[in-house]
Amino acid sequence: MDATISEAFDLTDRVAVVTGAGRGLGRAIASRLAEAGAEVVCADLAGDTAEETARLIVAAGGSAWAHSVDVTDREAVDGMVAAAVDRHGHLDVIVNNAAIIVDSTVLDTTEEDLDRVMAVNYKGVFFGCQAAGRVMRDQGSGSIINLASGAIDIPTPGLICYSAAKVAVAQLSRTLAVELGPFQVRVNAIAPGWIDTPMNERHVLRPDGTIDPDKKRDYVAMRSKMSPLGLPGEPDDIAFAALYLASPAARFVTGIVMRPNGGSTMPICHPSRSRPFRREGPGQAFLAVSRNGRVLSGRGSPGRPRTRSPMTLRWICSVPPPRRMPHCPTKSCWNMPRR
Ligand SMILES: NC(=O)c1ccc[n+]([C@@H]2O[C@H](COP(=O)([O-])OP(=O)(O)OC[C@H]3O[C@@H](n4cnc5c(N)ncnc54)[C@H](O)[C@@H]3O)[C@@H](O)[C@H]2O)c1
């Protein structure tokens, strides 16, 4: 590719639709795409929040307008894409980001909840892919970005509707990447780890519905420990991933599920559940995670354990096989060997 770095990430004259742009990750993605030069259509069920995102973008010197849409309504989604094309003559990027979450186990899930989550999180993305995909196929270019979740990688008790819909989104993205590749339309998914957004406030609410700052601090700390980096994710971590996939820099990238998650879904013995050191007998391989989250491995023998890159963990975990950890309080980081 014959381009400077700023040209490779430049979205000037590109038109991007972002659903669920009224808050959280959608707002961050819309803002970063606009900062890179795109004309952004901020779409949301809550029209006033979409207006607010568009207003913030314009105030920061970008270009954006708001559109009210319910992504479960196929005609409304077609109308959103048609409105973007009518106004600008083309559509270059769509980020199918809108979603909802319902906490329930498999046995407790009602048919109503299942239908509701599937309607927003899967069918909404599907309709967005269809409407934008047809336009992009005819114009011979485009980038479709669908939001999946880290919940596609690990069975998460109590989150079945959401995670099943997200698995479907990942497979939809890969299938469409094959179908639209010949038309130079790229299709990718992003599967974020935990990010502090309004979607996750439900874990830290007081009985009166307001946020409990102590609970929130503890919850963010607990989530941070799930990453080998010891960091919580931020909306911009996902916005920059979307910017990359939307930009010319990713011209050779299609059919991937990008995982900006701080390493939280790797099949490792997790610091929050491991003893500070796990030493085996002489000559026996071991894996340990120190209190500060560093991964240590080696052979049981006198001397200091070596620190290894998490990239080698899958191999190390196979000698000896990882133990099934007891119930995880976060309900989302079970230690699942992938073999
Ligand atoms: N926050 C995280 O930790 C996290 C982790 C993994 C994946 N994700 C995914 O990232 C995306 C954004 O998540 P978020 O945390 O910003 O969520 P959020 O709840 O903060 O925002 C979601 C937005 O979608 C909109 N929306 C909901 N239903 C809609 C509908 N029917 N039509 C149009 N808009 C609708 C809401 O009004 C809201 O503005 C979602 O797809 C989510 O599943 C988030």
pLDDT (0 to 100) of residue 90: 98
Using a 6 Å cutoff on CB, does residue 120 contact ligand 1?
Answer: yes
Secondary-structure class of domain 5-258 per CATH: alpha beta
pLDDT at 300 over 60: no
Q: Predicted confidence band at 147 (pLDDT cuts at 50, 70, 90)?
A: very high
Residue range 79-128, pLDDT digits in tens: 999 999 999 999 999 999 999 999 999 999 999 999 999 999 999 999 99
CA 22 to ligand 1 centroid distance, Å? 9
pLDDT (0 to 100) of residue 1: 85
Distance CA 233, CA 149 (A): 13
Q: Predicted confidence band at 320 (pLDDT cuts at 50, 70, 90)?
A: very low
Distance CA 146, CA 18 (A): 10
Distance CA 2, CA 263 (A): 32
CA 97 to ligand 1 centroid distance, Å? 6
Mean pLDDT, rounded, of the chain? 86
Residue range 185-235, pLDDT digits in tens: 999 999 999 999 999 999 999 999 999 999 999 999 999 988 999 999 999
Using a 6 Å cutoff on CB, does residue 102 contact ligand 1?
Answer: no
**What DSSP line would sit under 159-189, residue for residue?**
BHHHHHHHHHHHHHHHHHHHHHGGGTEEEEE
pLDDT (0 to 100) of residue 233: 96
Which residue's CA lies nearest to atom 17 of ligand 1?
199
Using a 6 Å cutoff on CB, does residue 126 contact ligand 1?
Answer: no
pLDDT (0 to 100) of residue 266: 87
Is the N-terminal amide bond of 320 cis, ω within 30° of 0? yes
Ligand 1 atom showing the smallest separation from residue 72 Cα: 31
Using a 6 Å cutoff on CB, does residue 195 contact ligand 1?
Answer: yes
Q: Predicted confidence band at 252 (pLDDT cuts at 50, 70, 90)?
A: very high
Pocket test for ligand 1, best of 29, 70, 75, 97 (most atoms within 8 A of CB): 97
Q: Predicted confidence band at 314 (pLDDT cuts at 50, 70, 90)?
A: very low
pLDDT (0 to 100) of residue 312: 38
Over residues 120-139, the mean pLDDT reads 98
Over residues 279-305, the mean pLDDT reads 54
Kindly list the distances between the CA atom of residue 312 and the CA atoms of 54, 266, 308, 319, in Å, as whole numbers in the listed order.
44, 11, 7, 12
pLDDT (0 to 100) of residue 296: 60
Kindly list the distances between the CA atom of residue 227 and the CA atoms of 1, 60, 144, 239, 293, in Å, as whole numbers in the listed order.
34, 33, 28, 19, 8
CA 158 to ligand 1 centroid distance, Å? 18
Ligand 1 atom showing the smallest separation from residue 101 Cα: 43
Using a 6 Å cutoff on CB, does residue 20 contact ligand 1?
Answer: yes
User: pLDDT > 90: what percent of the chain?
Assistant: 76
CA 101 to ligand 1 centroid distance, Å? 8
Active site amino acids: 162
Distance CA 194, CA 81 (A): 30
Domain ranges across the chain: 5-258, 271-316
Q: Predicted confidence band at 328 (pLDDT cuts at 50, 70, 90)?
A: very low
pLDDT at 12 over 60: yes
Distance CA 95, CA 129 (A): 9
pLDDT (0 to 100) of residue 290: 52
> Which H or E run includes 135?
helix 124-139
Using a 6 Å cutoff on CB, does residue 335 contact ligand 1?
Answer: no
CA 69 to ligand 1 centroid distance, Å? 14
Using a 6 Å cutoff on CB, does residue 200 contact ligand 1?
Answer: yes
CA 149 to ligand 1 centroid distance, Å? 11
Q: Is the pTM higher than 0.95?
A: no
pLDDT at 168 over 90: yes
Ligand 1 atom showing the smallest separation from residue 120 Cα: 31
DSSP 8-state code for residue 197 = S
pLDDT (0 to 100) of residue 271: 47
Which residue, 317, 307, 305, 308, is CA-closest to 266?
Answer: 317
Using a 6 Å cutoff on CB, does residue 17 contact ligand 1?
Answer: no
User: Higher confidence at residue 279 or residue 42?
Assistant: 42
Distance CA 18, CA 33 (A): 9
Using a 6 Å cutoff on CB, does residue 262 contact ligand 1?
Answer: no
User: Higher confidence at residue 276 or residue 55?
Assistant: 55
